């Protein structure tokens, strides 16, 4: 996967939105948020702005301490498609205009550990196990 910097107009109207470009053999592209220190019982949120290009679906996924909580969103409608593994504690999609969606998941950490959120594009809604 490569990233094309400043490839399109961002939600704030500036030309600063990057585009993920998958290789010819890739089935999906994954971004990982920098690992963070998670405290047991505390809720953590992952939020991203996403816009449909070649792939129609995006997944926000919480892999903290093996809890495996993920949600797939449709980037045409912003609709929830399905959970991957377990459902997060909450999730949402907000239309911010010009084809952009603000997608969010929130999960409560099951332990004091290193937290990890992943974001990945999927070619189809039948993608079940991408990690």
Contact 59, 130 (CB under 8 A): yes
**pLDDT tens, the chain, 131 aa long:** 677 888 889 999 999 988 877 665 555 566 777 789 999 999 999 999 999 987 888 899 998 888 889 999 999 999 999 998 899 999 999 999 999 999 999 999 999 999 999 888 776 665 444 43
> What is the signed CA dihedral for 14, 122, 61, 45, rounded to 10 degrees?
20
Residue 66 per-residue DSSP state:
G
Q: Residue 67's pLDDT is what?
A: 83
Provide the greatest CA pair distance for the chain: 41
| CB within 8 Å of 77: residues ≥ 6 apart | none
């Amino acid at each position: 996967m490569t990233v094309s910097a400043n490839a399109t107009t961002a939600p704030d109207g500036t030309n600063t939105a990057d585009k993920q470009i998958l290789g010819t053999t890739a089935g999906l592209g994954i971004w990982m948020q920098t690992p963070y220190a998670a405290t047991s019982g505390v809720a953590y949120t992952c939020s991203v702005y996403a816009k449909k290009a070649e792939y129609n679906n995006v997944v926000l996924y919480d892999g903290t301490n093996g809890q495996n909580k993920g949600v797939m969103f449709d980037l045409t409608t912003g609709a929830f498609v399905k959970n991957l593994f377990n459902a997060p504690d909450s999730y949402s999609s907000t239309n911010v205009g010009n084809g952009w969606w603000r997608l969010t998941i929130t999960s409560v950490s099951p332990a004091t550990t290193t937290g990890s959120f992943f974001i990945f594009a999927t070619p189809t809604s039948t993608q079940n196990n991408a990690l």
